[in-house]
Chains A and B, each alone.
Chain A
Amino acid sequence: MCLGVPGRVVEIKEGGIAVVEFSNGVTIETDANTIEGIKPGDLVVVHAGIIIAKLREEEIEEWARSLQEFISELESKESEIAEMLRELEGG
């Protein structure tokens, strides 16, 4: 029931109805009155026939980059983190 499916807006029709295309090529009509400023080309999350969120494409790239950084950083700092914690707990 809380499943959200990402898709791309291909058309906005009268009455705030947005046509959204999913990655499998299926298109459906959704109610876009539930969100501000949707336009064709937007990547959105659709749930139960409404657009619940607009995906922030810059955030997607940022997230992919930061995830990689996060992993390498954690790996390199593991001993430091442990040291800091010992100090924290000791102090």
Chain B
Amino acid sequence: MDYHSREIVNKIKVMIHKVAKDINGTVKIMDFCGTHEHSIVYNGIRSLMPSNVDLVAGPGCPVCITPAHYVDAMIKLALDGVRVYTYGDTYLLPGSELPGSDKPRTLADAKALGADVVVVYSLLEAIKHYRRDPKESVFLAVGFETTAPSTASAVVNRLLPDGFTLINVHRLTPPIMRYTFEKHRDNPIRGVIAPGHVSTIVGAREWEFVPKEYGIPTVVAGFEAYDIMQAILYILLMLRSGKPRLVNQYKRAVTWEGNKKAQKLIRECCEVVDSSWRGLGFVPESGLSFRDKYKWADAIYQYGLRELSENEWKYDLPPGCRCAEVTLGLAKPTDCPLFMKVCKPGVPYGPCMVSSEGACSIWARFGSGGLVEELVESLGLE
């Protein structure tokens, strides 16, 4: 943070402390985006909060919740001689094999065994790579509403070359938000920082149900420290006045309606289906599946692989890993006994330690309590 931002953050901090005093009980505020969680930890925002404000990370990392089943499918394809393209974030994502197994656990392990695994930044980059060096290929398409338009555009606009198919693991944010609220029923979430980049696609209006149906103040926020601080202050002011609403703090990028062209592409390409989330099971209407007319792009269908069904779903986290609770904000990464012992960045044991947006990985890389407090102090923020 530069000096100017620090000054703004400090001013908002004072206001947050003043307003929080007028509110009874603990105020649990949840963020739903890995980039928000990153900014909160990186900028030491938790240590700026009054004692009755608890910032909790919710499901904001699509890599963390990608079912082991699909990682296993990618590994199988890779070992069968198909080239697989993956984002860097999913390269080290474990499937259902455990560490120490003689079978590959990740796509990185498959590559070490000689499989053709290519890490790319985007689907477009994978397509370009394919055109230079064509070979039967599958791309692992993960991500929330922010990423789904890249898949939809490539399929609908026929950017995919012949012999290039996808495994579609796209998931949707509003259904998992509802699911998370239910899991917190005993100790309810009292404020929501809605995901900024997901909102560029779906529009701020997508979160209207949160204050309306659940009575929870909600702010669509940007990613700078002062954006998040402002969002927290708005939430506290709404709680104090007893008038929960939806506020769009990130108007510079997010409109009420969202990106209609991207929404149309997603609707054209995919239908909404009940889908599995790693460690959690099936969540109603929470995922995207290719429509019948686009099944030619679906690797699961083309290679005769099995789709995961609700009856067959099995708990898919490694023993002892608490990612399901971490994902839902019911546990902190530091509550996991394996955190920074067995499970570390570089040698992740569970999925939340893999992606740069996984809560465990963020807490591991940027500290989570003492370290951040020290940093904040040295920056003169306290």
Chain A interface (Cβ within 8 Å of chain B)? 1-4, 15-17, 28-31, 33-36, 45, 47-50, 52-53, 55-56, 59-60, 62-63, 67, 70-71, 74-75, 78, 82, 85, 88
B159 in the interface, Cβ–Cβ < 8 Å? yes
Alpha-carbon gap, A28 to B122, bound state (A): 11
Contact among A31, A59, A75 for B252, CB-based, below 8 A:
A59
A55 pairs with B253, CB closer than 8 A: yes
B146 pairs with A71, CB closer than 8 A: no
Contact among A29, A30, A45, A88 for B241, CB-based, below 8 A:
A88
Known: A2-B357, A3-B35. A47 touches B124 (CB 8 A): no
Chain B interface (Cβ within 8 Å of chain A)? 8, 11-12, 15, 18, 22, 33-35, 60-63, 87, 89, 121-125, 128, 142-144, 146-147, 149-150, 152-154, 157, 159, 195-198, 200-201, 226, 230, 233, 240-242, 251-254, 259-262, 265, 355-357
**Residues of chain B within 8 A of A17, CB atoms compared:** 124
Can you spell out 23 A-B residue pairs with CB atoms less than 8 angstroms apart? A1-B34, A2-B33, A2-B34, A2-B143, A4-B197, A16-B157, A31-B122, A31-B124, A31-B154, A33-B153, A36-B261, A45-B197, A47-B146, A47-B197, A48-B122, A48-B143, A52-B197, A52-B200, A70-B230, A71-B8, A71-B12, A71-B15, A78-B18
Contact among A30, A45, A60 for B124, CB-based, below 8 A:
A30
Alpha-carbon gap, A59 to B63, bound state (A): 32
**Residues of chain B within 8 A of A35, CB atoms compared:** 259, 261-262
Known: A49-B123, A52-B259. A85 touches B240 (CB 8 A): yes
**Residues of chain A within 8 A of B233, CB atoms compared:** 74
B252 pairs with A1, CB closer than 8 A: no
Minimum CB–CB distance for A58 against chain B, Å? 9
Minimum CB–CB distance for B328 against chain A, Å? 18
